[in-house]
Chains A and B, each alone.
Chain A
Amino acid sequence: MSQKQQTSTDSIAGKITKAVGKPSGYLSLLVFLVALALPLFATNYILHILILVFITGIGAIAWNIIGGYGGQFALGNAVFYGFGAYSVALLVNNYGQSFFVALAVGIILSVLLAVLVGYPTFTLSGHYFALATIAVVEGMLYLVLFFGDFTGGAIGQSVTPASWLADLVGNRVIAFYIFFAIFGLCILISTWVRYSKLGYYLLAIREDQDAAAALGVNTTRYKIYGFALSAAMTALAGGMYAVYGTYVSPSGAFSLDLSIQYALITLIGGMGTIIGPIVGTLFMVPIQQYVTTVLGGNLGSLAYIGYGVILIVVIIYAPEGLVTRLSFVREWIDNTLPEVK
């Protein structure tokens, strides 16, 4: 038995060496190292943008699990972001709970809500799920406004985390590494899911639900699993934003815009691929930040026109997403640069 284990570790080590030896492998590693070294020379503003990339990216990666792998078009994932953000804001500020307890509550509530929305709608065929998710995020926004005494209403709620945490996230460089690490963790989760039973079942459901059922896949159950995981990761993003931004607002958190943005980013990057949502976020968030903050103020709404244009261009020239469209770059790199052994 030990011998068998030995072979399997050997082959894993071998696989890693082989993957890194390929030009696309060592170039990726190089990009990763450059990213790690970024705080040495990047300005605080650029670090801020990258932190936003990580937080939005987690939401997009989460959306990709249910929307990309599972093919279930969720249009209300911001509700989980809102749960994460508001749980942290309310429990930390008003009830003196620690950040981790508050975050856990946000994640658990999100998973429960995902099951509650998923169970009745996943058993139906058609677009009920997408419609239900829109209804939930819009409904929750009104609830937050209605119970203003508890939630802070339209004004929102400022967040004062414990001083050690405030010090950590208040330092851009440290915050960059923390959020980068969590972003990396979410990429690992997404990669693991893709090659797990859950991933194969979700892909099968996306491709043909009847075929999946005939192969023994409990389609409703696995869609709920995928949605719940997506909800948990999105709540994590919301909770992280709450401590980083130190302020949550109902229109920012329970936002249909943000929900659609998760879907758009993934669509533009490449739905159902591991790196699609990552590429999509790296592409879209800086553009969005540039348009809204640099062009600023009156031109802010231009962001939407810009989004529209980008979306149209992508749909025409890269209907399967940038990743698929740009796969030739990887091939070119692998074919032109030398292999390292």
Chain B
Amino acid sequence: MLKTENLTKRFGSVVAVDDVSIEIPEGEITGLIGPNGAGKTTLFNLITGFYTPSNGTVTYKGEDITNLAPHEISKKGVSRTFQVPKPLNQLSVTENVVVGALGEGKGRQAAMEKANDTLDRVNFQGDYSMTANSLNVGQLKRLEIAKAVATDPDLLMLDEAVAGLNPDERGKLVNVIEKLNDQGITILMVEHVMEVVMGLSNRVIVLDEGKVLTEGTPKEVQNDDEVIEVYLGT
């Protein structure tokens, strides 16, 4: 569904993403892991148009989307969340999601209904009329996902969706992600919490120092000597 070929991003002399060629199969949950600074978020930014690659291409459903702007990529059906949630602080919870739901030709009333439905879908706990700046971490994480889901993505890219949550909340959010996947949304997730990523993913890609270290099923990756070395050190 989504393919990167030789994708590279240099910041001066630093190569943050180095010749990355990966493929995200339709319908699956793909996990993207790697130590801090491995280039996971940079890769997200390259795919979603926030950074222009120094080299390489991004193809989505057979179409080259390498040099498209973020809003154009969003319109194609690739939606993302941010590692540090970006709520629209002065707006209500519903209004936050309305911005994503106001696609082409959609009236305000329809967008409102869709926004509320989407909040139900991600199991948002709390009053939808609260302003976003009064939310707790768990609510912010769900709002971040709801905003992205409201744009009707075929590919949802989650950047550390469960980070900072307690195990109980984490488990509930994992259920939400599974449900979204069951409803037909392909998911690419960056995640540090190993039990979440290993439990959810069909496939796992490991990045280290900007390069793809290995990829495979969760089991294969967990038993890979190189991966163990990168995570545990020598």
Contact = CB atoms under 8 A, between A and B. Distances in A.
Interface of A: 195-197, 200-201, 203-204, 207-208, 210-219, 272
Interface string B66-78: 0001111011000
A204 B74 contact: no
Contacts of A214: 48, 50, 70-71, 74, 79-80, 82, 86, 148
A208 B151 CA distance: 17
Given A203-B90, A213-B74, A218-B71, 20 more contacts: A196-B108, A200-B99, A200-B102, A201-B99, A201-B102, A203-B91, A203-B99, A204-B88, A204-B91, A210-B70, A213-B70, A213-B71, A214-B50, A215-B147, A215-B148, A216-B75, A216-B100, A216-B103, A218-B69, A219-B71
B17 to A, nearest CB: 19
A217 B49 CA distance: 13
Nearest to B105: A197
Contacts of B69: 213, 218
B208 interface: no
A213 to B, nearest CB: 4
Contacts of A208: 86-88
A215 B148 CA distance: 7
Nearest to A320: B90
Interface of B: 48, 50, 69-72, 74-75, 79-80, 82, 86-91, 95, 98-100, 102-103, 108, 147-148, 150-151
A215 B50 contact: no
Contacts of A272: 90
Nearest to B95: A200
A215 B82 contact: no
Nearest to A218: B71
Nearest to A222: B71
B13 to A, nearest CB: 24
Contacts of A201: 99, 102
Nearest to A212: B99
5 contacts: A208-B88, A214-B50, A214-B82, A217-B99, A219-B71
A197 B102 contact: yes
Given A211-B82, A212-B99, A197 B108 contact: yes
Contacts of A196: 108
A210 B87 CA distance: 11
Contacts of B79: 214-215
Contacts of B151: 215-216
Contacts of B89: 207
Per DSSP, chain A at the interface is helix
Contacts of A210: 50, 70, 82, 86
A211 B86 contact: yes
A196 B148 CA distance: 20
Nearest to A272: B90
A195 B80 CA distance: 25
Nearest to A273: B90
A249 B74 CA distance: 49
Nearest to B86: A211
B99 A215 contact: yes
B185 to A, nearest CB: 16
B145 to A, nearest CB: 12
Closest 3 CB pairs of A and B: A211-B86, A207-B88, A216-B74
Contact of B90 (A207, A215, A217, A218): A207
Contact of B98 (A200, A207, A213, A216): A200
Contacts of A200: 95, 98-99, 102
A204 B151 CA distance: 14
B71 A217 contact: yes
A219 B91 CA distance: 18
A297 to B, nearest CB: 44
Nearest to B50: A210
B80 to A, nearest CB: 6
B108 A215 contact: no
A200 B109 CA distance: 13
B171 to A, nearest CB: 27
Contact of A207 (B50, B91, B103): B91
Nearest to A219: B71
A197 to B, nearest CB: 5
B105 to A, nearest CB: 10
B160 to A, nearest CB: 15
A201 B147 CA distance: 13
A68 B48 CA distance: 29
A298 B207 CA distance: 73
Nearest to B103: A216
A203 B90 CA distance: 9
A223 to B, nearest CB: 12
Interface core residue of A197, A203, A207, A215 (most chain B CB under 10 Å): A215
Contact of B99 (A195, A204, A218): A204
A195 B171 CA distance: 37
Nearest to B144: A211
A210 B79 CA distance: 12
Contacts of A213: 50, 69-71, 74
